[in-house]
Amino acid sequence: MTRSATIRDVAKLAGVSTATVSRAIAEPALVSADTREAVLKAAAEINYTPNLLARNLRQQRTKSILVLVEDIANPFYPEIFHAMEEAAQQRGYTVLLGNTGHSNEREQGYWDLVRAKRADGVVLFTGQLPEGTDPKRLPPVVLMAERIAGATLPLVAIDNEEAAARATRHLVDLGHRRIAHISGPQHRVISRDRLAGWRRAMDEAGLPLTDDLLVPGEFTIPGGEAAMRQLMALPDRPTAVFAANDESAVGALRAAQRLGLDVPRDVSLVGFDDIALAALFDPALTTIRQPRPELGDAAMRLIIDRIEGKGTPTAPTILPAPLIERGSTAKRGTK
């Protein structure tokens, strides 16, 4: 590639100043029709594209948002990204995805990008802030799906505890009394919230919460499998299981079926998230649906508002998360 055309080249060719070129492109109204035309023609002729680095440096903003996730493979994300990209585009922003892959080094690298002004704000899926951050000096941030304990930052999410309670109550209503929970990693707030919801619903239903009903599932398919095998080996087997996410629920489903059990006849199963995978198996999973497009849209609006100084840093945005009834749950003792 030869050196690309600059604003000066266009100015020279059109016989105007660089200021005029800038205006003709960014604020056409400020320039006479003739001039505008001449400038645009010249620009097209030499294939001019404004250098965004220069523009951004001058304007002290980039009109781009960094979306930081821990693991891009998470099936929970795509619909959220899609909605975020739509919302961003509407307001003239670009979305950049940063994948930390559980590497602190990479996470730090992306934060530096923002601190170094290469993005105007961050939507944070990772559930954690960079270490040793002075909350005063944080760039504009919006938390997505998972709050951060102790931090008071704008958040867009569902009420995980309430949704988990609802999932559990659904099983209670179906007549189940021994309802187990396959939990997520306990260092994550989201797992603790869902666990708390299960606990609360069990309490409220007056059902005993014995230790054997709670097993860790790690939010993964293998984790769910192991958890389910453990549960099904219990002398007094639960007749229903609430898994903290769909992946562990799918694992649980596979495990049950391999043990020759029928879901939902022998054991009912509820997941959480409503990822695409949830509907793929037989039976399809009853689960809590996170309203992903709405979450993405709300988060993007919120971060842009904050960047542009609009709106107020209000209470968390909490979106409804309905229970989706499918084939994996049934009345206790029936098909």
CB of 77 to a copy of itself, least distance (A): 7
**Single-letter code of the amino acid located at 254:** R
Contact between 134 and a copy of itself (CB under 8 A)?
yes
Nearest residue to 85 (alpha-carbon basis) of 112, 65, 103, 61: 65
* From the list DNA, a copy of itself, none, partner contacted by residue 134 (C-beta under 5 to 8 A by kind): a copy of itself
Please state, in angstroms and rounded to a whole number, the distance separating the CA atoms of residues 250 and 303. 34
Contact assessment for residue 109 and residue 99, using Cβ atoms and an 8 Å cutoff? no
Q: Which two tokens stand for residue 148?
A: 């951060």
Helices 33-45 & 18-26, crossing angle to 10 degrees? 100
* From the list DNA, a copy of itself, none, partner contacted by residue 313 (C-beta under 5 to 8 A by kind): none
Nearest residue to 272 (alpha-carbon basis) of 188, 205, 152, 203: 188
- Residues 6-45 as x/- pattern, contact with DNA by CB under 7 A: xxx------xxxxxxxxx-xx---xxx-xxx---------
Please state, in angstroms and rounded to a whole number, the distance separating the CA atoms of residues 120 and 138. 11
Please state, in angstroms and rounded to a whole number, the distance separating the CA atoms of residues 156 and 94. 20
Contact between 261 and a copy of itself (CB under 8 A)?
no
Contact between 82 and a copy of itself (CB under 8 A)?
yes
Among 45, 46, 51, 210, binds DNA (CB under 7 A): 51
Nearest residue to 228 (alpha-carbon basis) of 183, 195, 283: 183
The residue (of 36 and 194) whose beta carbon lies closer to DNA is 36
| Segment contacting DNA by CB under 7 A, of 46-54, 211-219, 226-234, 266-274 | 46-54
Contact between 44 and a copy of itself (CB under 8 A)?
no
Binding site for a copy of itself (CB under 8 A): 1, 4, 47, 49-54, 56-57, 62, 71-73, 75, 77-79, 81-82, 85, 89, 94-99, 101, 103, 105-106, 109-110, 112-113, 115-118, 134, 137-139, 221, 250, 254, 280
